[in-house]
Chains A and B, each alone.
Chain A
Amino acid sequence: METWTTYRLQDFLLFSERVYRRLFEAQNEAWWPLPIIMTIIGLAILAVWLIRSSKTIDTARQMSWGLMIATIVFVAVTFLRSRYAPISPIASVGYWAFLGEAVLLAFVGATAEPVNHRSRARLMVGGSLAAIGLLAYPAIGYSRSRALTGAEWFAFAPDPTMVALLGLFLMAGACRLRLAILMIVPIVWLIFSALTLRVFGDPVSWLLFGAIALAVLGCLLPAQR
């Protein structure tokens, strides 16, 4: 016990900030310009969830889950397993957790209930989260590295993908229990990421803690008007 109390948060981090940042650079360089195209697709998905329901929109919403499942698997395989896991055993766990989330989403689904009377408050919270994942992340990354390939992008990096996913979950208007189950993996992952950024003294960790708080708050709001 005496031994464990002498460890600090940074003792559990095996890699440096530079190596962490290079993960995103290398990922973007390998897939460029797909990150931009996927962001546009992500914004289209966000729009589909924001506008009023219709037959076509409902079909598009169903299809959007298929895209999100593919996105989660893509991030798990190309980023977590191929790039992050070699430097962090927690990322290997994350890889399996992301795959589990994709399976959960495929089988449980996020929109079983009628979604015509979704609460405005949840829509706003969810929409904000999705916007953080889709737009704020690349903006922050660009402002720091002065290169679009230096940023974390939706569908290519785990954090913006999970933040946007939480937003979509809230916008879909599922009941609290279903939402809580679906949110476990994204929230646990984001806590890990936020702690990692804390060790680096990166203020984006506060953005992540804020996003987690927003997601929990959104979950507590009533699903229907």
Chain B
Amino acid sequence: MTRLNRRLFLAGTAAASVMPILPAGAQTAGMVTRTVSGSGATLPAVGLGSWITFNVGNDPVLLDECAAVMEAFFQAGGRVIDSSPMYGSSQGTIGYGLEKLGRSDVFSADKVWTPLGAEGREQVAESRSLWGVPNFSLLQVHNLVSWEDHLPMLFQMKEEGALSHVGITTSHGRRHEDFARIMERHPLDFVQFTYNPVDREAESRLLPLAAERGMVAVINRPFQQGQLTRRLEGEPLPGFAAELEAETWAQLILKFILSHPAATLPIPATTIPEHAAENIAAASGPMPDDAMREEIAAAIANI
């Protein structure tokens, strides 16, 4: 076996699978996908976040710029878009983009975020009208806020057929103990937390637990809100990046995340259409093995 063969996994191994059908115009051949165990839904393994980037109010120029990001994302084969009622006007921006692009195949991942349990359903209805979707593909309890009230409500919505998947979120290592306990006790489809080559706390408990429980691990802040990509900007890529067909640090980071044995699904946010396409492209081509993952982390730590 050559060094390359030994050290690289082709996309399509471990928790990943390969997209069965290639939609017209999409460049998804060989793209890492995630299959949700409960529903069998298959999704491209890189999604799109909307925190800050899509909170543009009613400015028509900025709304069109966001729609262009969404267009590049869809054209590259992306489907999962994540938002929350907490993100200002982001939900409305996504709704604007979906309507402008005429896309109904989005995997709509939104959240419930209200301290008042009784307001959950109302908030979901409002979010749905902002997105302009008949039902959400996924609803997550944002940062575990009033999860005791919202989780039963979401499971009930799922039972009624008004929702496809249920999840919970946290970020930056917050409340991992509570988070793990909820993962152990509830049949969640998705869980969302922070993970990247610098913030690796999730490796100790949440990622193995997600793998064990068959939950898709949506990964927020893959670039530390852009701090990581900014820090690495202009720095030469390590030699092994070429072996992974990673052309940028962003792709190397995403490949690090995607190659974890759990079914990870990073959702980087961006304001730049080229970045959206570049991020999706990271889900294709060779993936690093354990040793190379450590090399990626070490290379980043040394800069």
Contacts and interface: CB of A to CB of B under 8 A. Distances in A.
Do A and B come together as binding partners? Answer: yes
Interface string A1-27: 011001000000111101100110010
Nearest to B172: A6
B240 interface: no
Contact of B55 (A3, A19, A82, A83): A19
B61 interface: yes
Nearest to B89: A86
B58 A14 contact: no
Contacts of B52: 13-16
A5 to B, nearest CB: 10
A87 B88 contact: yes
A88 interface: yes
Interface string A77-119: 0000011101111000000000000000000000000000000
B88 A22 contact: no
A16 B175 CA distance: 27
Interface in A1-60: 2-3, 6, 13-16, 18-19, 22-23, 26
B57 A83 contact: yes
A86 B173 contact: no
B62 interface: yes
Contacts of B62: 18-19, 22
B61 A22 contact: yes
Given A15-B52, A15-B88, A88-B88, A83 B174 contact: no
Interface in B61-94: 61-62, 86-89, 92
B180 interface: no
Nearest to B51: A14
Given A14-B52, A87-B89, A19 B59 contact: yes
A22 B65 CA distance: 13
A220 B87 CA distance: 41
Contacts of A26: 59, 61
Contacts of B87: 14
A87 B271 contact: no
A55 to B, nearest CB: 47
B172 A19 contact: no
9 tightest A-B CB contacts, nearest first: A86-B57, A87-B57, A14-B88, A87-B88, A86-B89, A15-B55, A3-B174, A87-B55, A14-B55
